[in-house]
């Protein structure tokens, strides 16, 4: 770099201390430092950007699956023998739906398997069914095709989030079963299956048998209209392989399946390390290939309240709670904040009290939010005996927290109105109050609104103080008023993040996404307001 | 019931406004110029006096009645309640109130039902009283103000004075908030220090309040003083804050320098919003990110290096907290760096300094006090931050400096002690307030020092 | 100190002829600030070891021209310079030229004294440090001392070299800034109204100083004050509305200017 620079001191010129070779060497070093420094700065900015991208992409990719929910369409028998139209409330709708599901799999006999099978559909099915029948009694009297939500594990499996499943591959040899159901033997035409099993974590026994335990991948062979799960393999005579297996879905016959007629499906995730069993996977795949499962927009998530069951949990209760809380916050913080700002900026004499108030406001703005929660707990709940978990208390706590933000923003905005406006109004005989309320305040309003919206956005995302006043309670009902127990969106996120069920992880991300959308909207409004009305005096 | 009263008063105020206005105009036979104050101001004046005192009375009533009602109940049923502790009495009164207002209570018994009936009758009486008081106040206020309306009457002055009083009252809310915080923290902390000595709390090294009550029989309920030592919490808070500052301070400062002195307009147009978005993301989201992405990731790296990283390591919480604080540090530093006068940069450039030499040797030293105060504010922010550590840091109070282990913090313990059902005067609950007091004092000191430093620094260049 | 004297000697040798040689030369220099043109095709020679004063009413472009000479306009994003400025025959706006080295050779003193918020010693040592001019602490001490002496400040501050430079009086601060510029051993020193913020006594001291510095350095000074230009400079250039109106020996400019605008300005008709 420096070689090209500086043709100073070229031939015929005197060489000074700034142009000699030593100076050039020093300069080179200095520019190296310069470049380093600049790149450090760029790297810092890039890192901040990277963190943001990482954070948002993690949340968005996790949230997207939660926006849809898989439904299973079942023929549900609602004839009078099952549902007595006179006693709609006394009917066990869950049992009816479960019956319809078990009817699809007549082979499933054992009590344990039946329970597994029933577990495929959501435990909320009965509630939905009852509601829909109440809304449309015309459903009664016969068999209707009714879509029920799947249980969260089934749903997650179908979204590909529970297990790594390979695609079906044709087996290039013949397969002969010994029976059509129960524990059977399979004879493969060649021993390729042995190599394959070894590659998928099969344990080799002393007698040369390969066993596929629950710690290995699952190998499922589908042929003759049924599915067999391989449990052990050994080499047979003439280069064949003999496998033991458990029939999951009964075969039509014991006829040998020709090469290319049987299909192997490998579930890479071992059964022991996933939350869905091979049987459930086979059932779900069967239902899916029968076209009975469909993925729909997840209206449950958006329009219902909280639940312990991931597939039934919704954010609507939290959204309403947040909305009610924000109304209280705004109703308190905005008038008080703006009034305080007006007083301090326009009326307050420069005395000790004013200074104390100012210092106080600056310090309040930096008090940790959790301390405001302690204040709410000690004063609002315990001293004044206000209800726990209520939006009105949450709103008051957040209002106290937002107040300094609004005051500071409003004061800045009032200060930006030039004194000439005040002088003009005072000059034609307006009183101080009239000057402020007729002239200064309207001009400062866009800035005040912007500050208020940003303060509200801050309050909307606040969590910690609301934990203190009991808004962390598990509340299923959607709050109908300011004193009803409620939770709010960030607290809902906090609670869901703690739930162990895998389905809640997606729900949490989706709830975060909703919260972020609200914040983006609020910030966008603030930006637009600022752009639209910003005035440079 | 009282809601109707408020609505009625508002309607009255509107009517009074109209009446006052009309009367003012009538008093000068329509020649408005002869009025000292505008007709609207007379209207406002009348409305204020018709509804204001009554509304104030209602506000006062709603603040004090719950307490009065409870004490009456406690008094009337003192014989039944004599054997109970304070929490039980509180629960009893809560239940009685709930039953009186038509709620359902888990364990209803005849005493509670009787109490509920009494409660109901007291409450009805008190509502009648406030109705009567409000109406009397309203009528007399209206009558007094109405008789005042005259052409020469200075209604504007009265209205403006009331308005000014309202504005002052609003400004005082900020002070009341601080007083409320300080009083509630100190009051509850004092109750805590009656049970646990002050020095044991501040200097004890063992923290496990979940096992606060030891002993059996006669000793049941005695508080074990030795399990409220907050040193491990403080150490954990400092460890996580330190890690956070290790991330946030260099990145935030360098980003601020780059954006203010090097970045092109287009880079700035992208980078500034990025930082603003980072600043606007709620902390609960950072907490989720820390717990579900960063912590397992660090654990994985640790495993591959043969290190044992706790799944709730201080490192994960600290790093994510650092990311959260980056925009805070960078925006404060940006202000400070921009406050260094251009003439100093010119002076340095005029001597042939490169940009980085100017920044490192002139701008940063000149801005040092401001940068220090920015860092102090960031530290205060990190110490008070709650959600990230609640979600990503541990619960067990380990006294360690190893960032790969789980530590807990002051804020985590406050949340843990207070979330869920609690008795309000157990040592456990009160300990949370003592922790809150410590937290408040630390952050307040940091803020005051930082604000002082930055003020001095500003004066230097003004 | 050795380096300093050697450089001085070399400089002297290079200007061995009697007629002052041309140190810097502006040819058709124009400056745009965004859309606005601030300087129109200025041709001006700066002669070695002389003081050249740039005069003219406010906003006439004299400061702009001055800032072109060591490329201080680079720090303003919207400024665009065209034409050619040479230092010892080499174009300073040539992309191959390093601006850091240029500014080391063409130092600058600003309108408002701008000492760094560091000690007096550190203020003067700053330039030699960044340019790596001193090999040892003793050498640096020497540079600082001689620079302060040349700036006529040493006796006033020798007992408080470690006190802050911002604590000095205005005139002392400005001489400190001059000492700071000298410490880098520049060949040319640009001064942008160096006395405008000073009282008359401080101004007189700085003017004396400028006259002394002429022995070793080429000086270009922008000034508002006619008297100052007459007192300190050998050559004067008059700017008006971005044009160079007239340029010549100071004596002649003040007694018998060619251009009517110069006449008007000198006699106080506008300004």
A19, closest residue in chain C (CA to CA): C101
Q: Please name the residues in contact with A456: beta carbons below 8 A apart, sequence gap of 6 or more.
A: A326, A329, A330, A402, A522
pLDDT of C9 reads 42
Q: What does the pLDDT average to over B111-136?
A: 81
| Residues C10, A27: C-beta atoms closer than 8 Å | no
Instruction: Indicate the residue of A2, A18, A30 with minimum beta-carbon distance to C105.
Output: A18
Q: Does C101 touch chain A (CB under 8 A)?
A: yes
pLDDT category at A6 given cuts 50, 70, 90 is very low
Q: Does C110 touch chain B (CB under 8 A)?
A: yes
CA distance A312 to A300: 6
In this predicted structure, the answer to whether residue A2 has a pLDDT above a threshold of 60 is no
| Residues B353, C100: C-beta atoms closer than 8 Å | yes
Q: What does the pLDDT average to over A395-424?
A: 92
B362, closest residue in chain C (CA to CA): C116
CB burial class (10 A; 0-12, 13-18, 19+) of residue A315? buried
pLDDT of A3 reads 40
| Residues A370, B386: C-beta atoms closer than 8 Å | yes
Residue A235: other Cβ atoms inside 10 A: 16
Mutation site for C-interface testing, chosen from B265, B340, B347, B460 by largest number of C Cβ within 10 Å:
B347
pLDDT of A401 reads 94
Residues in chain C within 8 Å Cβ distance of B341: 114
Residues in chain B within 8 Å Cβ distance of A41: 254-255, 257-259, 261-263
CA distance A418 to A277: 73
Note the pLDDT tens digit of each residue in B191-241: 888 888 888 888 888 888 776 554 444 444 566 777 888 889 999 999 999
CA distance C139 to A31: 24
Distance from CA of A5 to the nearest CA of C (A): 4
CA distance C266 to B391: 77
pLDDT of C19 reads 63
pLDDT of C53 reads 94
In this predicted structure, the answer to whether residue B249 has a pLDDT above a threshold of 90 is yes
Token couple for B323 = 């990311």
User: Which other chains touch chain B, taking contact as 3+ CB pairs less than 8 Å apart?
Assistant: A, C
Distance from CA of B448 to the nearest CA of C (A): 25
In this predicted structure, the answer to whether residue B285 has a pLDDT above a threshold of 70 is yes
Asked whether the beta carbons of B155 and B37 are under 8 A apart, the reply is yes
Mutation site for B-interface testing, chosen from A40, A47, A55, A405 by largest number of B Cβ within 10 Å:
A55
Residues in chain C within 8 Å Cβ distance of B362: 116, 126
Q: Quote the DSSP letter at residue A50.
A: H
As a whole-number percent, the residues of chain C with pLDDT over 70 amount to 92
**Helices of type H across B196-230:** 198-203
Q: Please name the residues in contact with C270: beta carbons below 8 A apart, sequence gap of 6 or more.
A: C57, C264
pLDDT category at B462 given cuts 50, 70, 90 is low
CA distance B451 to B264: 32
| Residues C185, A18: C-beta atoms closer than 8 Å | yes
| Residues C75, B362: C-beta atoms closer than 8 Å | no
The closest of B15, B13, B44, B38 to B151, measured between CA atoms, is B38
Note the pLDDT tens digit of each residue in B258-284: 999 898 889 999 998 899 999 999 999
Helices B155-195 and A391-416: angle between axes, nearest 10 degrees: 130
Query: Which of helix, strand or coil describes residue A390?
Result: coil
| Residues C72, B349: C-beta atoms closer than 8 Å | yes
Residue B127 sits at φ, ψ, to 5 deg, of -65, -40
Distance from CA of C101 to the nearest CA of B (A): 6
Cα–Cα distance list, A333 to A345, A453, A459, B346 (Å)? 17, 11, 11, 46
Residue B101 sits at φ, ψ, to 5 deg, of -95, 20
pLDDT of C271 reads 52
3-state secondary structure chain C: CHHHHHHHHHHHHHCCCCCCCEEEEEEEEEEEECCEEEEEEEEEEEECCCEEEEECCCCCCHHHHHHHHCCHHHHCCCEEEEEEEEECCEECCCCCCCHHHHHHHEEEECCCCCCCCCEHHHHHHHHHHHHCCCCCHHHHHHHHHHHHHHCCCHHHHCCCCCCEHHHCCHHHHHHHHHHHHHCCCCCEEEEECCCCCCCHHHHHHHHHHHHHHCCCCEEEEECCCHHHHHHHCCEEEEEECCEEEEEEEHHHHHHCCCCHHHHHHHCCCCC
User: Which other chains touch chain A, taking contact as 3+ CB pairs less than 8 Å apart?
Assistant: B, C
Q: Does B129 touch chain C (CB under 8 A)?
A: no
Token couple for A172 = 């290039």
* Helix, strand counts (H, E) of chain B: 18, 0
CA distance A147 to A181: 31
Q: Does B356 touch chain C (CB under 8 A)?
A: no
Distance from CA of C258 to the nearest CA of A (A): 36
Residues in chain C within 8 Å Cβ distance of B359: none
pLDDT of B156 reads 78
Q: What does the pLDDT average to over A333-361?
A: 89
CA distance B409 to B287: 14
As a whole-number percent, the residues of chain A with pLDDT over 90 amount to 25
Note the pLDDT tens digit of each residue in C187-241: 999 999 998 888 888 899 889 999 989 888 999 999 988 889 999 999 999 998 8
Between chain B and chain C, the number of residue pairs with CB atoms below 8 A apart is: 72
Residues in chain B within 8 Å Cβ distance of C107: 350-352
| Residues C181, B349: C-beta atoms closer than 8 Å | no
Q: What does the pLDDT average to over A191-210?
A: 82
pLDDT of B107 reads 61
Predicted-assembly ipTM surpassing the 0.90 threshold: no
Residues in chain B within 8 Å Cβ distance of A60: none
C235-240: strand order across its sheet: C106-109, C188-192, C218-222, C51-55, C235-240, C243-249
Cα–Cα distance list, A533 to A420, A436, A442, B137, B310 (Å)? 19, 19, 11, 44, 52
Residues in chain A within 8 Å Cβ distance of C185: 16-18
Note the pLDDT tens digit of each residue in C237-268: 999 888 998 898 998 888 888 888 888 888 87
Asked whether the beta carbons of C144 and C154 are under 8 A apart, the reply is no
In this predicted structure, the answer to whether residue A506 has a pLDDT above a threshold of 80 is yes
User: B414-423 contacts: CB < 8 A, separation 24 or more?
Assistant: B414/A370, B414/A374, B414/A468, B414/B386, B414/B439, B415/A370, B415/A464, B415/A467, B415/A468, B415/B386, B415/B390, B416/B390, B417/B209, B418/A373, B418/A374, B418/A377, B418/A467, B418/A468, B419/A467, B419/A468, B419/A472, B420/A472, B423/B87
Asked whether the beta carbons of C90 and A18 are under 8 A apart, the reply is no
| Residues A385, B66: C-beta atoms closer than 8 Å | yes
pLDDT category at A54 given cuts 50, 70, 90 is very high
Note the pLDDT tens digit of each residue in A144-177: 888 899 988 888 888 888 887 777 888 888 888 8
Q: Does B345 touch chain C (CB under 8 A)?
A: yes
Average confidence score pLDDT of chain A: 86
CA distance B382 to B245: 8
Distance from CA of B419 to the nearest CA of A (A): 6
Asked whether the beta carbons of A413 and A346 are under 8 A apart, the reply is no
In this predicted structure, the answer to whether residue A5 has a pLDDT above a threshold of 70 is no
DSSP codes joined into one string, B53-101? HHHHHHHHHHHHHHHHHHHHHHHHTHHHHTTS-HHHHHHHHHHHHHHHT
With residue A230 as reference, give the H or E element that holds it: strand A226-235
Asked whether the beta carbons of A17 and B239 are under 8 A apart, the reply is no
The closest of C260, C258, C233 to C46, measured between CA atoms, is C233
C90, closest residue in chain A (CA to CA): A8
CA distance B446 to B337: 21
Residues in chain B within 8 Å Cβ distance of C118: 365
Q: Does C16 touch chain A (CB under 8 A)?
A: no
Mutation site for B-interface testing, chosen from A57, A345, A371 by largest number of B Cβ within 10 Å:
A371
Range 143-182 of C in CB contact (< 8 A) with B: 177, 180-181
pLDDT of A513 reads 93
Cα–Cα distance list, B216 to B213, B220, B221, B424, B425 (Å)? 9, 4, 8, 22, 20
DSSP codes joined into one string, B138-161? HHHHHHHHHHH--TT--HHHHHHH
Residues in chain B within 8 Å Cβ distance of C67: none
| Residues A366, B167: C-beta atoms closer than 8 Å | no
A5, closest residue in chain C (CA to CA): C96
Phi-psi region at C61: left, alpha or beta (left = phi > 0; alpha = psi -120 to 50)? left
> What's this model's pTM, rounded to 2 decimal places?
0.86
């Amino acid at each position: 770099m420096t070689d090209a620079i500086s043709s100073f001191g070229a031939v015929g010129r005197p060489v000074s201390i700034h142009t000699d070779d030593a100076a050039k060497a020093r300069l080179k070093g200095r520019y190296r430092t310069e470049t380093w420094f600049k790149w450090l700065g760029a790297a810092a900015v890039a890192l901040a950007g990277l963190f943001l991208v990482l954070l948002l992409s993690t949340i968005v990719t996790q949230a997207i699956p939660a926006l849809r929910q898989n439904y299973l369409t079942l023929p549900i028998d609602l004839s009078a023998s099952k549902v007595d139209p006179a006693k709609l409330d006394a009917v066990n709708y869950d049992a009816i739906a479960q019956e319809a599901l078990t009817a699809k799999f007549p082979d499933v006999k054992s009590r344990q398997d039946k329970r597994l099978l029933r577990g495929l559909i959501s435990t909320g099915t009965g509630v939905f069914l009852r509601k829909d029948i109440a809304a449309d009694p015309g459903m009664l009297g016969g068999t209707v095709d009714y879509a029920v939500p799947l249980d969260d594990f089934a749903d997650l499996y179908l979204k590909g989030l529970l297990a790594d499943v390979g695609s079906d591959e044709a087996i290039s040899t013949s397969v002969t079963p010994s029976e059509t159901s129960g524990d059977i033997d399979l004879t493969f035409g060649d021993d390729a299956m042995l190599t394959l099993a070894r590659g998928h974590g099969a344990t080799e026994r002393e007698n040369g048998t390969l066993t596929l335990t629950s710690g290995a991948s699952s190998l499922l062979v589908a042929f003759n209209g049924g599915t067999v799960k391989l449990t052990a393999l050994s080499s047979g005579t003439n280069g064949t392989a003999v496998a033991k297996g458990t029939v999951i879905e009964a075969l039509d016959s014991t006829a040998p399946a020709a090469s290319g007629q049987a299909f192997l499906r490998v579930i890479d995730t071992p059964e022991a390390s996933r939350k869905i069993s091979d049987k459930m996977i086979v059932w779900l795949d069967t239902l899916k290939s029968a076209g009975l499962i469909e993925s729909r927009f997840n209206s449950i998530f958006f329009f219902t309240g909280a639940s312990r069951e991931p597939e039934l949990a919704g954010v609507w209760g939290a959204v309403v709670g947040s909305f009610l809380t924000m109304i209280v916050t705004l109703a308190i913080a905005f008038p008080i904040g703006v009034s305080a700002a007006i007083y301090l900026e326009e009326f307050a004499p420069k005395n000790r009290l004013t200074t104390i108030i100012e210092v106080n406001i600056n310090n309040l703005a930096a008090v940790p939010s959790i301390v405001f929660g302690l204040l709410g707990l000690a004063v609002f709940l315990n001293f004044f005996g206000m209800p726990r978990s209520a939006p009105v208390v949450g709103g008051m706590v957040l209002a106290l927290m937002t107040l300094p933000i609004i005051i500071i923003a409003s004061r800045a905005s009032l200060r930006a109105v030039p004194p000439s406006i005040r002088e003009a109004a005072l000059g034609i005989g307006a009183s101080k109050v009239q000057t402020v309320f007729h002239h200064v305040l309207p001009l400062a309003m866009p800035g005040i609104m912007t500050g208020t919206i940003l303060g509200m956005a801050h309050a909307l995302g606040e969590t910690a103080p609301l934990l203190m006043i009991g808004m962390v309670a598990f509340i299923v009902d959607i709050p109908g008023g300011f004193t009803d127990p409620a939770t709010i969106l960030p607290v809902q996120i906090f609670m869901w993040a703690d739930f162990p069920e895998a389905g809640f992880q997606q729900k949490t991300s989706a709830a975060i996404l909703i919260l972020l959308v609200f914040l983006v909207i609020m910030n966008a409004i603030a930006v637009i307001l600022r752009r639209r009305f910003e005035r440079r005096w | 019931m009282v809601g109707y009263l408020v609505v009625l008063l508002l309607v009255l105020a509107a009517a009074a406004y109209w009446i006052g206005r009309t009367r003012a105009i009538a008093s000068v036979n329509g020649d408005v110029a002869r009025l000292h104050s505008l007709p609207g101001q007379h209207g406002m004046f009348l409305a204020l006096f018709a509804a204001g005192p009554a509304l104030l009375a209602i506000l006062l009533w709603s603040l004090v009645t719950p307490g009065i009602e409870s004490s009456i109940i406690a008094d009337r049923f003192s014989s039944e309640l004599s054997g109970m502790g304070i929490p039980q009495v509180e629960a009893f009164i809560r239940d009685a109130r709930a039953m009186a207002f038509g709620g359902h209570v888990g364990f209803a018994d005849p005493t509670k039902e009787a109490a509920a009936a009494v409660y109901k009758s007291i409450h009805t009486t008190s509502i009648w009283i406030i109705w009567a008081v409000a109406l009397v106040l309203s009528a007399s206020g209206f009558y007094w103000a109405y008789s005042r309306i005259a052409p020469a009457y200075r209604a504007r002055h009265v209205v403006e004075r009331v308005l000014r009083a309202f504005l002052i009252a609003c400004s005082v809310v900020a002070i009341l908030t601080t007083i409320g915080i300080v009083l509630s923290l100190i009051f509850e902390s004092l109750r805590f220090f009656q049970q646990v000595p002050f020095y044991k709390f501040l200097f004890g090294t063992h923290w496990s309040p979940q096992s606060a009550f030891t002993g059996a029989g006669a000793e049941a309920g005695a508080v074990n003083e030795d399990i409220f030592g907050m040193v491990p919490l403080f150490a954990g808070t400092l460890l996580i804050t330190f890690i956070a500052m290790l991330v946030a301070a260099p990145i935030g400062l360098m980003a601020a320098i780059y954006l203010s002195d090097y970045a092109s307009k287009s880079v700035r147009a992208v980078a500034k919003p990025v930082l603003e978005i980072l600043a606007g993301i709620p902390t609960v989201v950072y907490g989720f990110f820390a717990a579900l992405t960063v912590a397992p990731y660090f654990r994985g790296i640790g495993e591959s290096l043969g290190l044992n990283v706790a799944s709730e390591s201080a490192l994960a919480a600290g790093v994510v907290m650092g990311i959260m604080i980056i925009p805070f540090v960078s925006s404060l530093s940006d202000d400070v760096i921009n406050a260094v006068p251009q003439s100093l940069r010119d002076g340095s450039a005029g001597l042939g300094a490169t940009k980085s030499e100017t920044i490192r040797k002139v701008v940063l030293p000149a801005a040092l006090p401001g940068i220090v105060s920015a860092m102090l504010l960031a530290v205060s922010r990190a110490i008070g931050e709650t959600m990230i550590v609640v979600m990503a840091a541990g619960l067990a109070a380990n006294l360690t400096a190893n960032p790969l282990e789980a530590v807990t913090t002051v804020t985590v313990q406050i949340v843990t002690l207070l979330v869920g059902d609690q008795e309000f005067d157990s040592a456990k609950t009160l300990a949370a307030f003592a922790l809150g007091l410590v937290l408040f004092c630390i952050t307040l000191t940091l803020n005051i020092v930082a604000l002082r430093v930055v003020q001095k620094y500003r004066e230097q260049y003004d | 100190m050795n380096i300093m004297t050697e450089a001085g000697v070399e400089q002297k040798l290079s200007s061995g002829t009697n007629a002052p040689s041309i140190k810097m030369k502006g040819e058709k220099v124009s400056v745009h600030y965004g859309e606005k043109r601030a300087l129109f095709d200025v041709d001006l020679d700066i002669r070695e070891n002389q003081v050249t004063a740039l005069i003219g009413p406010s906003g006439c472009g004299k400061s702009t021209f001055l800032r072109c000479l060591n490329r201080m306009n680079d720090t303003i994003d919207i400024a665009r310079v065209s034409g050619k400025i040479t230092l010892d025959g080499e174009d300073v706006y040539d992309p191959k030229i390093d601006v850091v080295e240029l500014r080391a050779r063409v130092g600058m003193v600003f309108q408002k004294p701008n000492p760094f918020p560091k000690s007096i010693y550190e203020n003067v040592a700053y330039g030699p440090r960044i340019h790596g001019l001193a090999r040892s602490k003793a050498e640096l001490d020497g540079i600082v001392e001689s620079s302060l002496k040349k700036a006529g400040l040493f006796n006033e501050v020798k007992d408080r070299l470690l006190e802050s430079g911002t604590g000095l009086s205005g005139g002392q601060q400005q001489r400190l800034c001059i000492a700071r510029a000298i410490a880098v051993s520049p060949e040319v020193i640009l001064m942008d109204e160096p006395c405008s913020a000073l009282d008359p006594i401080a101004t007189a001291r700085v003017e004396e100083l400028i006259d002394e510095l002429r022995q070793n350095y080429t000086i270009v000074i922008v000034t508002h004050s006619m008297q100052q230009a007459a007192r300190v400079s050998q050559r004067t250039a008059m700017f008006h509305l971005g044009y160079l109106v007239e340029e010549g020996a100071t004596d002649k400019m003040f007694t018998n200017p060619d251009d009517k605008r110069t006449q008007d300005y000198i006699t106080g008709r506008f300004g």
